[in-house]
Amino acid sequence: MSPERRAEDLRSAAATEADVVVIGGGVVGAGCALDSASRGLRVVLVEQRDLASGTSSRSSKLFHGGLRYLEQREFRLVAEALRERGLMVHRLCPHLAAPVSFVYPLRRRGWERLYVGAGVALYDLFARRGPAALPRHRHLGARSLRRLVPALRADAAIGGVRYWDALVDDARHTVALSRTAAAHGASILTSMQVVRLLRAGDRVVGVVVRDSETGEEVELRARQVVNATATWTDEIQSMAGRGTLRVRASKGIHLVVPRDRIPADSGMILRTPSSVLFVIPWRQHWIVGTTDTDWHLDLAHPAATAADIDYLLGQLNSVLRSPLGHEDIEGVYAGLRPLLEGESEETSALSREHAVHQTVPGLVTVAGGKYTTYRVMARDAVDVVARNLGGSVAPSCTEDVPLVGAEGFTGVWNRRARLAAEAGLPVSVVEHLLRRHGTDTLAVLGLVAERAELGRPIGSGGPYLRAEVVHACRAEGARHLDDVLARRTRLSIETFHRGVACAREVAELMSVELGWDAAAIDAEVEAYEERVRAERHSQTQPDDVRADAARGVARERRHPRPLRGD
């Protein structure tokens, strides 16, 4: 997904009718692009900002079934999600998905252990119907729990239940999914906003896209259009003059804190008054989340408030021996869950099931669901497209299509010590690369072999290499500074400076690849610094309205037009 490939894809897409145009560069849109392309269809994906620039980079970073959905008796959803989890860990992206354990602390003797134990046993049972399963759950007494999670207060639990799920870097996974679609022939066009639908009578026959950087408009004709825009679903449907699905945006925020602030060898899942709280191991950090509240403001930049942050800290500190303070927080991020509108007034009670509808002839909408089940959502949406196209469209095969970086991963992982020695890098650095790039690590190390300075870390000894910035521009579709700092790497949430301290270094590396002059470098750095200032200010505000106003002052390097809901 180089700049040259994007330019060629845009020329081709403007000149030739596609079988499918997919609107949305999140995980479901990327999944639809791969599903379509791997069936032999000509597909174009358009995204108004960057890949995974919305919810698909701001999730809890788990492939999981969702224990709390068992309580809501959504057994089919849990079973489906656990099957998908198994596919990701063992077949489709083993370099990006890794098993991770969680402890559910028990506060009461007797019934609580029976209740939680039965739920986790059912969770394991569902998981065993899919690909090779993760370790089974285990009951812990008070002493075993203290050894595993010494951070817990002595009076916080009388024991626990340990179970397993899977961790994933959501943004990197979505980028890998998009690259896999591109490898199967899909055109992936970021910075392209749909401004209207092309019609022939009542039928949708394509889209008009506006380049979010140049303002140029282009017509892209297609036999079918898929609306996979998550919380923007209603906005695209409104262009068709009809909405068959309604999506409600629920804000979830997460905190990122250094690993040493919470002494533990396992993640935790804690019961809260309204839902559950995850404490998730994330590299040298913990991710703490999440909240679940309605959001009616800027869909592109949901903002965490001071009240949101205080709520998470309060819930976590209620069980910790050494409470955390605001000074311990490295990063904060907020994302929006696209929930199908239902009867309940509480967003935590709305379904995570998905739906696929034909909004009008030529326009298929897929909405709802959760990150883990993206592949099933994409399959179901493209099944409808295939029926509409007629002829002999092949069935979905994505269950057997490993993502870029997955094929041969185990063999390359087993050679990591030799690769490190050949590159003159610590083994831990090569392991870091393998867990982010899989077999594409060989391409990253090739850059280091060509230019030794690319083997140096970004900033002051962080985990990311300068070569990864070059690779992001050449192969991963990165076009702006925040694409790299927020999504190709996670420096925006993993450092106390939130990426600002290394922004110029990264921009200068990108400038060589993307042809930026000194003024463009300055503009990229200034825009990123402005974004971080606005986010920090928004996180001191007491409510959503004021937080949204504070976040909204930051300018973007991309300039999509406001839509209803922006």
- pLDDT tens for 228-248 read 999 999 999 999 988 778 999
Give the closest residue to 398 by CA, choosing from 384, 387, 411, 383.
Answer: 383
Q: Position 475: which residue type?
A: A
The Cβ of residue 73 has, within 10 Å, a number of other Cβ atoms equal to 9
| CA–CA distance, 454 with 448 (Å, rounded to integer) | 5
Q: Which two tokens stand for residue 359?
A: 């909004």
**Residue 215 exposure: Cα atoms within 13 Å on the Cβ side:** 0
| CA–CA distance, 263 with 265 (Å, rounded to integer) | 7
Report pLDDT for 351: 47
| CA–CA distance, 121 with 138 (Å, rounded to integer) | 9
Report pLDDT for 77: 86
Report pLDDT for 132: 63
User: 306: buried, middle or exposed (CB in 10 Å: 19+, 13-18, 0-12)?
Assistant: middle
- Angstrom CA distances, 370 to 48, 77, 215, 375, 564, stand at 21, 10, 33, 10, 24
User: 158: buried, middle or exposed (CB in 10 Å: 19+, 13-18, 0-12)?
Assistant: middle
User: 384: buried, middle or exposed (CB in 10 Å: 19+, 13-18, 0-12)?
Assistant: middle
SS3 category, 321: coil
SS3 category, 425: coil
Report pLDDT for 441: 98
DSSP 283: T
| CA–CA distance, 228 with 389 (Å, rounded to integer) | 18
Give the closest residue to 437 by CA, choosing from 470, 462, 482, 459.
Answer: 470
Give Cα 332 distance to the centre of its chain: 15
Q: Which two tokens stand for residue 395?
A: 């069935």
Report pLDDT for 410: 96
- Angstrom CA distances, 7 to 4, 192, 211, stand at 5, 12, 12
| CA–CA distance, 530 with 537 (Å, rounded to integer) | 11
Give Cα 136 distance to the centre of its chain: 27
Cis preceding-peptide flag for 290 (omega within 30 of 0): yes
Report pLDDT for 566: 40
Report pLDDT for 193: 97
Q: What angle do CA 196, 202, 206 make, to 5 degrees?
A: 40
Q: What are the structural domains of the chain? A: 3-56+172-246+351-400 (3.50.50.60), 90-167+248-337 (3.30.9.10), 409-551 (1.10.8)
Buried b (16+ CB within 10 A) or exposed e, 275-304: bbbbbbbbeebbbbbbbbbebebbbbbbbb
| CA–CA distance, 314 with 302 (Å, rounded to integer) | 22
Report pLDDT for 350: 40
pLDDT tens-digit series, residues 36-47: 999 999 999 999
What does the chain come to in residues? 566
Q: Which two tokens stand for residue 271?
A: 């019961």
Residue with tokens 């979830």: 252
| CA–CA distance, 176 with 90 (Å, rounded to integer) | 16
- Sites in the chain below the pLDDT cut of 70: 130-132, 342-352, 561-566
Q: Position 73: which residue type?
A: R
Contact 209/21 with Cβ under 8 angstroms? no
Three-state helix/strand/coil letters over 492-519:
HHHCCCCCHHHHHHHHHHHHHHHCCCHH
Q: Where are the alpha helices (DSSP H) in 405-486?
A: 409-414, 416-423, 427-437, 441-450, 466-475, 481-483
Q: Position 438: which residue type?
A: G
| CA–CA distance, 245 with 228 (Å, rounded to integer) | 12
| CA–CA distance, 223 with 305 (Å, rounded to integer) | 44
Contact 475/1 with Cβ under 8 angstroms? yes
SS3 category, 245: coil
Report pLDDT for 344: 36
